[in-house]
Structure 1
Amino acid sequence: MSMFKPSMLTLALIGAGVVSHTAYAAEETAKNEADKKVEVIEVKGFRASVVESINTKRFSSEVVESISAEDIGKLPDSSIAESIARLPGLAAQRLDGRASKVSVRGFSEDESATTFNGREQVSISDNRGVEFDLYPSEIMSGVTVYKTPSANLEAEGIAGVIDMQTIKPLSTDERIVQLNTMYEKTSFDKLNPDGDDAGLRGTFSYVDKFNDDTIGVALALTTMTSPNQEKRWNAWGYPEFEAGGKQYSILGGAKPFVRSSTLERDSVMFVLEAAPSDDLSMVFDALYVDFKDKKILRGIEIPFAWGQGSIAPENATVDAATGFITSAITEGQRVVVRNDYEERSAELSAFGFNTKYNVDDSLTLELDVSHSSVDKKVWSLESYSGTGRGNDRGIADTIGYALNGGNTGAQFSHQLDYSDYDLIKLGGPLSWGGSAALNEKYGVVGEDNADGEYVPHPYENQLQDGFLNTPTVEDELNTLKLAAKQVLDNEFISSVEGGISYRKREKNKVSEGYFLTLSDFSYPDNAGLMVVPEQYRLGTASLDFIGMGDMIAYDSKAMVADGQFSMLAESLTKPDHATKSWKVEEQVTAAFVQANINAELAGLPLTGNVGVRYVRTEISTEGVVADNGANGQLVLTSSLVENDYSHVLPSLNLSLAIDETQTVRFGAAKTISRPRMDEMNSSLARNYNNQQDDNGNNWEIKGGNPHLAPKEATGIDLTYENYFSAEGYFSVAAFYKDLNEWIFDGSVEQDLTGVVNPATGEVPANPIATRKYKENGGGGDLWGYELAVTLPFNLFHESLEGFGVIASHTGVEQDVKDQYGNEYKLPGLSEKIQSLTVYYENYGFQARTSMRKRSDFKGEVNGVGFTGVQVDILGETIWDAQLGYDFGEGGFKELEGLSVSLQVQNITEEPFTALSGDNALQVRDYQDYGRTYMLGLSYKF
């Protein structure tokens, strides 16, 4: 049998990054050609990217999945997430219609690490999980997902590591000057009169080499305005009650709306590569992204069972099986008409420098330094209007709801005309958002009567005419790595490598919110609502999709900018913002040693690596302790807590080549995922209640736990791979993880002896507090399997040249319990994940359709005040398609370099659906995004 065993020199060069996996594949192809005289057919375009991805997987020491630049470039999704979500075992969660969060083998984004050219990245989220819609897919040369780790990987994550890569200009064959442009259109017409339903994208790429191919540069400039629209049903909740000895539930309230969003993103990617000699190579890369996501939201907030109206039993329909009231009518109901605006902006900067020096033929030294930072600002405005200020003023409505079938929300009936500007006026139509400071500011504070009883003011807690959330996040990460690699003349170990690294990360979140009150409000002279001034009116927005007809539409952002509202900080009286504001600093020192294996086992080539990584983490978190003081005012004191922990993380990756096409892989490793930053900060709120809780305590403490330890897992992977063609392979994989030190909600008692209650100035007689926070404990098992195949149809007959299919199926199961022994479902875990791509590419013509499917899972969405909320999300199947034509490949030489494409995303208009509890009838969210059409033009000079 002719066995292929890569030379030690080739393995060393691949490990050092001097040659690519493509060059490695070329060596194997050359050897096989010499032995078998096999005819080689050159493929380009998408098929070439398939070959490149297969080679990356085939010749990696770890278990990986890969996607190449051609694949990303030919499917220019809004983000990397939509591209890599088609890989085996990976799934994406949509946020506002775009894939943003990625789970790997059943683990949420918090359990995986994301790197850029091998360096860990900051995040615009409150935590570690990267939101991939920040990264344009057009500027990346590839993405590699490491499902098993090795000691030399500079990031830690139980689920794996997702590495995004830029192009290396010295690896290209020729100068590249390319211009891509694309027109984008949503299937919905404008849902808001001031929204967008069309946008443009553009990319300019330049790659070249100079000075006898010793200096290379790559530059990519991208700009994008991408529209997205949504018809959304959202329910507040479904309260339960008992009547006649039976349990019932009913719609508590709803907040449906229409949303028009525009994602604006400009980015610059620059790479400078130099190889002045055979022994020295240097690469500098830089990425800058200016990101802005604008959302216009309009809808009618309807308090139903939790509102003012009365419900007659004869006007209700009950589902006998569940006791859920599927339709009802409420009389005397007042609603809130909402004209909201949200703007999420961020600037990302990332710089890295890497140099490698070959001291001699066997020893290589490496230095890598990098910096990445992000600055995110959110400006989220709520503007209210209705028929009268407060609960009992203005005209009430008779409103009915009837639950739709298929988890699609409900249809409403109504009697009032919500498009009438003379009826619907600016101001808070319901009494909520009470604030002692707000009441005091406007002189609407009640007083005691002659009997000593408190009598509220007629307008007390009725002055919230809107609200403004303004959280900010700053995240900065600096890294330094020193490493060395020694090639050995050994029949078992081809080389050994080791190094040390240092990472310093500082993440700072500031949470703030403001009550908005009409600037001309005064009591008693001008205490009513205000007619929307003509200059801010935009007509109407249609809510026909829920049966509410048209509603008034006005420019609430301009009204705030023009001073039509006055603002008062919510943090004066509410501790939530204090506990959501924090700074976490992490210093991670790591050292690794790894032996790279190139041996034989029973006459068969055995490659891989064995190593160990030592990681020490030092943490410093700054926050505040918020106490409720006199007159509702908060008393804040600073809080500084430090913590540290160390881990030893061994890893083993083995690859046994049965023959030229068949490989068996085995991987085993211990991995960690650090706690979420919003759970490990030192900010907390203390409150003394006059009534005791279930534990008999008056004090209550809520906040972070700086002493949280990382989650731990010990994993095993076993994979069989068969590379039966240069364009095809199939694999079968099984994986298992033993989970420990997981993080759950917990409660402990804490002694506050001597602590003064700021509200009274006295030390309470009962000093014991109930503290609610996150804590380590519990754990369990996760296991699963993966099936993947890439099949070119030319294997069956030459007439099928260009046809092919790529498919995968992943099954995941878990048995996890919390620290109290209760069953727990891991966030991000779908028990089934499938992907399918059917393609044809030949003679310049390209056609593809792709499907990604996942079953139900728990995911995180934004709740009140941008707090993450875990909800049950229904499974979804998303289909995309593309047609394209490359004129040069089609034989039109005068049009060489020109290609066109037409894409349709979300062909079947798959909605996003989340439930409220276990009852499938109780829909929390039903979001309909429609389809997206894209027409593209590309020209390579």
Structure 2
Amino acid sequence: MLNFKPSKLTLAILSTGLMAVSSSSFAYAQENQATDDNKKEAEVEVIEVRGFRGSIIESINTKRFSSEVVESISAEDIGKLPDSSIAESIARLPGLTAQRLDGRASRVSIRGFGENESGTTFNGREQVSISDNRGVEFDLYPSEIMSGVTVYKTPSASLEAEGIAGIVDMQTVKPLGQDERVIQFNGSLEQTSFDKLNPDGNDAGFRGTFSYMDKFADDTIGVAFAYSTMSSPNQEKRWNSWGYPEFTYEDGSQGSILGGAKPFVRSSTLDRDSMMLVVEAAPSENLHMTFDALYVDFSDEKILRGIEIPFAWGQGSISGETATIDPASGFVTSAITEGQRVVVRNDYEERKAELTSFGFNSVYDLNDTWQIEFDASYSQVDRDIWSIESYSGTGRGDGRGVADNLGYTFDGGNTGAQFSHELDYGDFNLIQLGGPLSWGWSSALNAKHGVVGTEYENQLQDGFINAPSIDDELTALKLAATHDLDNDVFASVEFGASYREREKTKDSEGYFMTLSSFDYPSNPGMLVVPEQYREGTANLDFIGMGDMIAYDTNGLIKDGYYDLLAESLTNPSHSTQSWTVQEKVTSAFIQGNIDMEVGDLPLTGNVGVRYVKSKQSSQGSAFNTVDGLIVTSPTDISHDYSHVLPSLNLSLRIDDQQTLRFGAAKTISRARLDEMNASVNASYNQQPDQNGNHWSVSGGNPALEPKEAIGLDLSYENYFSDEGYFSFALFNKELSEWIFDGTFEVDMTGVADPSTGQVPSNSTATGNGKVNGGEGSLWGYEVSLSFPFKMIDESLDGFGLIASHTAVESDLKDQNDNEYELPGLSDKIQSLTFYYEKDGFQARASMRKRGDFKGDVYGLGFSTAQVDILGETIWDAQIGYDFGEAGIGSLKGLSIFFQAQNLTEEPFTSLQGENALQVRDYQDYGSTYLLGFSYKL
């Protein structure tokens, strides 16, 4: 029987990231080994193809010889991936795309599913996340210290993470697989196409990486170390609306108008320092051990300046004579509001995160047929956000200070509106610190400053600070064994058990800012910005508002110019957004690895089943309001469940080039963590509801269970050269137990009625929140091609293209039979890369395109909000020159490159409603340019 499995030598070569093996080499080696098992292993012809083309060949071989349906990217050497994060690299893979966050690819979707429906692993181990939920924000992970990424579109029983969409596995290098010692330096300078939009912002940055790999003790110990640092600037012009209230015209027809807008300019700098260490040891032929560690220190600092412009929701008067109405939709496309006061904003935000990850893996060969594996890992991330809003204007409150006459005009595109104005918002004498509108209706704030019942009541919010924090911690253990078999169906059987424990805590808090100089009644007014905190002006010509004052908000707070008061005293939202969720997952699996013949055709793959037992619990608070203040009592709710997850992967080799694949599996995606928290708003009613309950609660649901899917995959793959392949795939997923809004029962045993202090005899409550239910389907097809132009003519050697197209449809309904659109689903996804690489010269241009979709963004208080996002097409390009590959011996090891990201300055646009004029957000980031080098000793 033909043994169609790569040899150990072949697998070692594939794992190094340094060499690629041609398809003909595989066939030659395997057939000779099969003919005579007593002969020495056939010599494998290794073709050293480096650079981008080498990475293409390696990725193709990873896809070709995997038992599962996978996509992969690989770096020729550590530090060769040019993108700023892993997300930008994998977003170009077939069926994958990314959602941008502040101009950078961050959240990854697989075949129409959002980031919360996929699992993410690092060297095969599940990862924590800096977001509020499970979805990993990949901009935390630098591409410079990774050797590659494999995306599993179909699962196998031995994979540790769960996800309906798939599993994204990031990998580090294996130092024992390297041929020689490597010492490498990478560096680049970065520049944005926009000049800095804020006077104290940055428009230039840098990146640098040092990596070292070597082997010792007769090649039994290998060490790889990498340090990467980055200071990356980003600029943004943003048009943001408050909303579009609807109204009825005199003739009874419906219309809508701009409620208000919050446009601004942003200058941000992402600073990231990363360290990776891999120690690999093979003290004997039977024992192999690997230890890896990753540390990432991440800080994203943002300076935002703009003007909040109330319109229909403001105090001004709107004359119908100035209004222009779109007859098709009834939307007021232009109007003027007279006597309007605005809020001049000088905001500052800092998002800090610190990731630590450790892993240890040991594989021991008991004998020729038995192998034991032990794996232990720990990962933890802390994330803190300090987001400051600072207000200024012409006078405190709604009725003081100079008002303006403001107009707006929508130009018919998705770019928002242009404004007209009469005041000079760059005048420090006119625009002063303080709250120009009556915001912040806090009884505690009024009482603190002694203005209850006065004309200054509810006029003391001079700014606001959002300060949510996340702590996510995960520990995992795994013990598994592999037994080689000698039969005509299975080459081996794997089985094992694992345990992982995760705890994620979110603390939500906000603070009202009031000028320390405020003193009622002696000094209730505004404050001129002190000279030492003035930064000049920020230009808002892109919305027609001219210059506005710019000052150092963070400095004013640090130096005591504001008093702070916790919003949680009177606002219950922080109680429902603060929680701890714990998960304890015990798994067991058995998997048979298939190696057989069907009609003289080799059939490989695996069949297995995974049993998953989960116990989840959440601690939070139930709250009520007594005398205007929030009263909370602790909650602690547990729930457990189990799943049996069978899987099958088959790969039928038709000939040396063609392969048919089939995959079938049951998969799960766990509920979002913020949806399964135990923090609720609880109220006790004297009259029972329709369910017979006196208690009513709203908030999270700790009893949520995972969404389920039964997936089928069928694909045809043709590997027509070492650098080229064609693939066509069909996929379908039957979805059930999805999560929608609904009602559920909550145990309130022991919880006292806040108004009486007594524990009611009825201990159940009607909960309003997320529930499992509904069902539907998702289906689609995928076409991908890698084509080297040398197949047309040898004179075109070095030219090539990589292209893919994915089409997805879904039909999902909730428990009430209402249609539901999956977050992250674009009906079409395309990617295209043209490249040329030969004799040291490298050039490539890449495009990724996706259709409209629903995506998650940060809403009020940094809670997750879902919005409609327009599709986008993003072009990147890179040229480079490797002096060693060009034959310049004196400069061997040196290469240079120039890269341009978002060449066409594609904006990020989200809408509010079906009217294309009703823009929620229009974000213009410009382009980013990098000039860099790599030098290997």
- The normalised TM-score by structure 2 is 0.95
Task: Give the AA of the match of 2:633.
Answer: T
User: Do residues 28 (structure 1) and 35 (structure 2) align?
Assistant: no
Question: CA–CA distance in 2 between the matches of 1:37 and 1:760?
Answer: 84
Aligned to 1:499: 496
Q: Which amino acid aligns with 1:389?
A: R
Q: What residue in structure 2 maps to residue 451 of structure 1?
A: none
- Alignment-derived partner of residue 816 in structure 2: 820
Cα offset for 1:769?
7.3
Alpha-carbon separation, structure 2, partners of 1:558 and 1:19 = 48
Q: Which amino acid counterpart does residue 939 of structure 1 have in structure 2?
A: Y
CA 1:131–1:579 in 2, change beyond 3 Å: closer, same or farther? same
Q: Which residue of 1 aligns with 2:835?
A: 839
Tell me, in whole angstroms, the C-alpha distance in 1 between the residues paired with 2:396 and 2:17.
71
CA contact (8 A) 2:29 2:43 kept: no
2:302 to 295, 303, 313: 295
C-alpha separation in 1, matches of 2:81 and 2:770: 41
Which residue of 155, 167, 177 corresponds with 1:171? 177
Trace 1:885-904 onto structure 2 (pairs within 5 A).
Answer: 885-904=881-900
CA drift of 1:709 comes to 0.7
Deviations 1:96-120 (A, max 9, x none): 0000000000000000000000000
Q: How many Å separate the matches in 1 of 2:145 and 2:760?
A: 61
Describe the shift of the 1:877–1:71 C-alpha distance in structure 2 as closer, same or farther (beyond 3 A).
farther
Q: Are 2:22 and 2:722, in contact at CA under 8 Å, matched by a contact in 1?
A: no
Matched, 1:775 2:771: yes
Paired residue for 1:277? 284
Q: How does 1:10-29 map to 2 (within 5 A)?
A: 10=8, 28-29=26-27
Deviation of the 1:701 alpha carbon: 2.8
Query: Per the alignment, do residues 907 and 765 of structure 1 end up closer, same or farther by CA in structure 2, a change over 3 Å counting?
Result: same
Indicate yes or no: 2:526 matched with 1:529: yes
Any conservation in 1 of the 2:188–2:207 contact (CA below 8 Å)? Answer: yes
The alignment status of 1:512 with 2:509, answered yes or no, reads yes
**What amino acid sits opposite 1:85 in the alignment?**
A
Instruction: Tell me whether 1:369 sits opposite 2:376 in the alignment.
Output: yes
Structure-to-structure mapping, 1:105-120, within 5 angstroms: 105-120=111-126
The alpha-carbon deviation at position 508 of structure 1 amounts to: 0.9
Whether the 8 Å CA contact 1:21–1:59 is kept in 2: the answer is no
Matches within 5 A, 1:433-832: 433-446=440-453, 457-630=454-627, 632-687=628-683, 701-747=697-743, 758=754, 771-832=767-828
Which residue among 120, 123, 137 is the counterpart of 1:131? 137
One-letter amino acid of the structure 1 residue matched with residue 657 of structure 2: T
Q: Distance in 1 between matches of 2:397 and 2:901?
A: 45
Unaligned runs of 5+ in 1: 447-456
Taking the TM superposition and a 5 Å limit, the aligned residue runs for 1:158-307 are 158-244=164-250, 245-307=252-314
8 Å Cα contact 1:12/1:494 also seen in 2 = no
- Counterpart of 1:272, as a letter, is V
Q: CA deviation digits over 1:355-406, x for unaligned, max 9?
A: 1000011110000000000011111101000011111111111000001232
- Mark the CA change 1:374 to 1:767 in structure 2 (over 3 Å): closer, same or farther: closer
CA pair 693-639 structure 1, distance change in 2 beyond 3 A: closer
Distance 1:332 1:914, change over 3 A: same
Matched residue count: 928
Partner of 1:314: 321
Q: Distance in 1 between matches of 2:297 and 2:618?
A: 29
Report the AA paired with residue 373 of structure 1: Q
Partner of 1:452: none
Q: Does 1:406 align with 2:413?
A: yes
> The residue matched to 2:76 in structure 1 has which SS?
helix
CA contact (8 A) 1:628 1:686 kept: no
Inter-CA distance 430–768: structure 2 relative to 1 (3 Å threshold): farther
- CA pair 705-37 structure 1, distance change in 2 beyond 3 A: closer
Look up the equivalent residue of 1:921 and give its one-letter code. Answer: L
134, 157, 163: which is aligned to 1:157? 163
Give, as a single letter, the amino acid of the residue that structure 2 aligns with 1:400: G
In 2, distance between residues paired with 1:433 and 1:278?
70
Q: CA RMSD in A?
A: 2.8
Residue 363 of structure 2 aligns with which residue?
356
Contact 1:242/1:248 (CA < 8 Å) preserved in 2? Answer: yes
Q: Distance in 2 between matches of 1:637 and 1:698?
A: 17
1:884-934 deviation line (CA, Å, top 9, x unaligned)? 001111121111111110011000000000000111110000000000010
Map residues 33-182 of structure 1 onto 2, 5 A cutoff: 42-70=48-76, 73-182=79-188
> SS where residue 915 of structure 2 aligns?
coil
Aligned equivalents of 2:21, 2:369: Cα separation in 1? 20
Q: Does 1:393 align with 2:363?
A: no
CA–CA distance in structure 2, aligned partners of residues 26 and 348 of structure 1: 43
Shift of 1:9: 6.3
Alignment partners' CA distance in 1, 2:903 and 2:26: 41
Secondary structure, in 3 states, of the residue corresponding to 2:866? strand
Structure 1 partner of 2:38:
none
Other structure's SS at 1:70 match: coil
Give 1:211 deviation, angstroms. Answer: 1.1
Is the CA contact (8 Å cut-off) linking 2:370 and 2:482 kept in structure 1? yes
In 2, the alpha carbon distance for the partners of 1:58 and 1:316 equals: 62
The residue identity in structure 1 corresponding to 2:436 is P
Q: Matched residues in 1 for 2:685 and 2:244: separation?
A: 28
Match of 2:429? 422
Amino acid at match of 1:108: G
Equivalent residue letter for 1:100: S
Relative to 1, partners in 2 of residues 1:24 and 1:365: Cα closer, same or farther, differing over 3 Å?
farther
1:41: Cα distance to partner? 5.9
Q: Is the 8 A contact 2:534 2:550 kept in 1?
A: yes
Residue 851 (str. 1) matches residue 847 (str. 2): yes
Q: In 2, distance between residues paired with 1:753 and 1:485?
A: 49
Q: Against the structure 1 CA distance between its residues 766 and 505, is the aligned structure 2 distance closer, same or farther, given a 3 Å change threshold?
A: closer
- Deviations 1:287-313 (CA, angstroms, capped at 9, x unpaired): 000000000000000111000011000
CA contact (8 A) 2:393 2:430 kept: yes
Give the whole-Å Cα distance in 2 for the aligned partners of 1:293 and 1:689: 46
Give how far 1:51 is off: 0.2
CA-CA distance at 1:747 after TM superposition: 3.6
Instruction: List per-residue Cα deviations over 1:230-258 (Å, max 9, x = no partner).
Output: 00000011000112201010000100000
Aligned 8 A contact 1:46 1:70 in 2: yes
Letter of the structure 2 residue corresponding to residue 386 of structure 1: G
On the 8 A contact 1:4/1:660 being kept in 2, the answer is no
With over 3 angstroms needed to count, the CA separation of the structure-2 counterparts of 1:466 and 1:538, relative to structure 1, is same
SS at match of 1:57: helix
| Aligned mates of 1:363, 1:738 — CA distance in 2 | 38
Q: Secondary structure at the match of 2:651?
A: strand
3-state SS of the aligned residue for 1:559? helix
Instruction: Judge conservation of contact 1:495–1:596 (CA < 8 Å) in 2.
Output: yes
1:174 Cα offset (Å): 1.2
Letter in 2 for 1:148: T
Aligned partners of 2:309 and 2:74: how far apart in 1?
Answer: 48
Name stretches of at least 5 consecutive residues in structure 2 with no aligned partner. 36-41
Distance 1:281 1:37 in 2: 24
